[in-house]
């Protein structure tokens, strides 16, 4: 799930970052942007990677990102205040309108959230008191421009979620007729819908009544759905497309030459890891030894052709609070140190398993190649003393059920795509009892640090606590970070270098003629 908007951890009375002066809107012809066909009806509650970019252009939430820094500023919200990271008071900017001219009011947020919380993006709302009920008790309208949020427990980074498109407001027309969102949504963002056909071609035009600080610089965006990156790339080269979010792998090696350098290669908020069920009897020294025996740099270059970058922490660099190099030596390829840590593991009495399976689902594209590369790297470093061998589960569904049940008898591929760009979202998956803690890691001190950080209203102090928690993960190594995902985007001569969100999405407001 991705978005172009979210808020920073709030101080005692929230003061998000100041934003730069709005750029002067420029006239000119529109631009054409590639997207992919959505899997079903495209609504706020079901928004996913395919088509969600269009909703992001149509709607603006309480807060929004600076695409250059991942930091946040208020959008529809005038302020969001809290004293305990559990109860928040939201005050809206007056005069912000939907595309039908009606004003965005507090009930448009509260009623929209209650509806969206019953849909596919429901888990984003799980922190709110009363989640699971048709009307969440933690949401209260105070007046036309004020509402309150009460969470089940203190959770400062909750405000980071509020920029996800699922937290957008809905106009009264959509609240009365939800199907109107499928026919032709009415939003409150920088662009409004002219033609709405997410599976084929959608046309959005600049909404001149937009109240946001950053104004759109192009008059029109046409989102064209492509079933393959290859077809989209051909259109980009042929001058029929202005922006392609993902260059096909076959063109990755020569894309810069093809496009005369008009290429963007952002690292996005996804990390690939190896999960290690701690009940297998491994210890931290062995897990660190295996990690240091993986030649990440060679694998990302030769297997992924640069579409991945070696991970040096548990947290993608696009997240607020991410610290470069947090994993230290344990995420670097070092055969000598890897063998030293293997010897340490044995000296502590560990009966090292001679062969460790690494599970992946056989129907996944590209998994076999990198899993085999890891197995070869580990085997070479340890000279057969410890080996890793690929082991398949037939389908993704079977693989997912096995990981949830904890029935895999070995290591397994896993990953995490940030729901919102904050360090907590990556670390929280290792908390005791978390539904995504597939390795069943348990560390009361780690859990206590996360809780303390969640309660801390000072952004700087909270980040410090989260980073201390990551230091514990590095010490215990309950999983092995492998690499962060990198997109390769291309654009035409007709537009200047566009900006991307922390998730690698095109920021539509940043589009401008060359």
Asked if the 38-214 domain carries CATH number 3.40.190.10, the reply is: yes
Along the 514 residues of the chain, how does pLDDT read in single tens digits?
333 333 333 332 333 433 333 333 344 468 999 998 887 778 887 777 778 889 999 999 999 987 777 777 899 999 999 999 999 999 999 999 999 999 999 999 999 999 999 887 788 999 999 999 999 999 999 999 999 999 999 999 998 889 888 999 999 999 999 999 889 999 999 999 999 999 899 999 999 999 998 889 999 999 999 989 999 999 999 999 999 988 988 888 889 999 999 999 888 899 999 999 877 767 899 999 999 999 999 999 999 988 899 999 999 999 999 999 999 999 999 999 999 999 999 888 777 667 899 999 999 888 999 999 999 999 999 998 899 999 999 999 999 999 988 889 899 999 999 988 899 999 999 999 998 999 899 999 999 999 999 999 998 999 999 999 999 999 999 999 999 999 889 999 999 988 887 767 788 998 989 8
Taking CA atoms, 392 is separated from 154, 247, 413, in Å, by 41, 29, 11
Name residue, tokens 């969440």: 136
Task: List phi, psi (to 5°) of 502.
Answer: -60, -15
Distance from C-alpha of 167 to C-alpha of 148, rounded to nearest angstrom: 14
Stated pTM of the model: 0.87
C-beta of residue 109 within 8 angstroms of C-beta of residue 103 = no
Listing DSSP states for 466-488 in one string gives: HHHHHHHHHHH-SEEEEEEEE--
Give pLDDT, residue 412. 96
Query: 206 by DSSP, 3-state: which?
Result: strand
Strands 72-74 and 87-92: unpaired
The reported pLDDT for the residue numbered 313 is 97
Alpha-carbon gap, residue 303 to 360, rounded angstroms: 16
Nearest residue to 5 via CA among 157, 165, 163: 163
- Residue extents of the structural domains in the chain: 38-214, 267-486
Q: Per residue, what are the HEC states of 208-271?
A: CCCCCCCCCCCCEEEEEECCCHHHHHHHHHCCCCCEECCCCHHHCCCHHHHCCCCEECCEEEEE
Nearest to residue 409, comparing CAs of 362, 356, 367? 356
User: Which residues partner with 480 through β-bridges?
Assistant: 274
> Which structure tokens are listed for 198?
């997410």
217 φ/ψ angles, rounded to the nearest 5 degrees: -105, -10
513, β-bridge pairs: 495
Note the pLDDT of residue 18: 33
Q: Return the pLDDT at 352.
A: 64
DSSP state of 378: H
Q: What is the dotted CATH code of the domain comprising 267-486?
A: 3.10.105.10
Tokens, residue 465: 């606590």
Q: What is the pLDDT of residue 174?
A: 95
Give the pair of three-digit tokens for residue 30. 């529109």
Question: Which residue is listed with tokens 């947020």?
Answer: 109
Cβ atoms of 277 and 440 within 8 Å: the answer is yes
């Amino acid at each position: 799930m991705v978005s172009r908007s979210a808020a920073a951890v709030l101080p005692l009375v929230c003061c998000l970052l100041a934003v730069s002066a709005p750029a002067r809107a420029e006239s000119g012809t529109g631009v054409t942007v590639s997207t992919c066909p959505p899997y079903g009806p495209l609504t706020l509650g079901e928004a996913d990677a395919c088509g969600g970019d269009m909703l992001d252009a149509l709607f603006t939430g309480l807060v929004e990102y600076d695409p250059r820094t991942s930091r946040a500023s208020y959008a529809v919200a005038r302020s969001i205040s809290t004293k305990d990271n559990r109860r928040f008071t939201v005050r809206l900017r007056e005069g912000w309108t939907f595309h039908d001219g009606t004003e965005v009011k507090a009930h448009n947020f509260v009623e929209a959230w209650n509806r969206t919380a019953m849909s596919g993006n429901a888990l984003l709302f799980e922190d709110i008191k009363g989640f699971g009920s048709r009307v969440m008790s933690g949401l209260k309208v105070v007046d036309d421009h004020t509402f309150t949020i009460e969470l089940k427990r203190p959770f400062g980074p909750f405000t980071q979620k509020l920029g996800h498109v699922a937290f957008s407001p809905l106009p009264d027309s959509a609240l009365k007729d939800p199907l109107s969102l499928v026919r032709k949504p009415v939003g409150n963002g920088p662009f409004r819908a002219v033609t709405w056909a997410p599976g084929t071609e959608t046309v959005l035009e600049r909404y001149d009544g937009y109240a946001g600080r950053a104004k759109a610089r192009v008059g029109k965006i046409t989102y064209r759905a492509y079933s393959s990156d290859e077809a989209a790339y051909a259109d980009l080269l042929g001058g029929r497309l202005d922006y392609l979010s993902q260059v096909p792998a076959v063109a990755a090696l020569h894309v810069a030459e093809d496009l005369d350098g008009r290429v963007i290669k952002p690292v996005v908020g996804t990390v690939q890891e190896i999960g290690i069920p701690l009940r297998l009897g491994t210890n931290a020294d062995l897990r660190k030894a295996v990690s240091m025996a993986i030649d990440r740099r060679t694998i990302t270059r030769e297997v992924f052709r640069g579409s991945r970058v070696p991970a040096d922490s548990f947290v993608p660099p696009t997240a607020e609070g991410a610290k470069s190099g947090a994993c230290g030596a344990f995420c670097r390829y070092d055969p000598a140190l890897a063998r030293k840590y293997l010897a340490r593991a044995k000296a502590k009495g560990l009966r090292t398993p001679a062969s460790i399976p690494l599970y992946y689902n056989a129907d996944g594209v590209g998994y076999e190649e990198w899993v085999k590369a890891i197995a070869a790297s580990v085997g070479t470093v340890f000279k057969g003393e410890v080996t890793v061998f690929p082991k398949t589960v037939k389908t993704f569904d079977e693989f997912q059920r096995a990981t949830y049940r904890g029935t895999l008898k070995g290591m397994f591929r896993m990953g995490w795509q940030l729901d919102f760009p904050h360090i907590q979202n990556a670390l929280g998956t290792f908390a005791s009892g978390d539904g995504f803690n597939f390795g069943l890691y348990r560390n009361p001190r780690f859990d206590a640090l996360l809780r303390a950080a969640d309660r801390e209203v000072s952004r700087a102090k909270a980040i410090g606590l989260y980073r201390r928690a990551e230091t514990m993960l590095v010490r215990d190594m309950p999983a092995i970070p492998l690499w962060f995902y990198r997109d390769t985007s291309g654009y035409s001569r007709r537009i200047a270098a566009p900006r991307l969100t922390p998730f690698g999405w095109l920021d539509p407001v940043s589009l401008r003629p060359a």
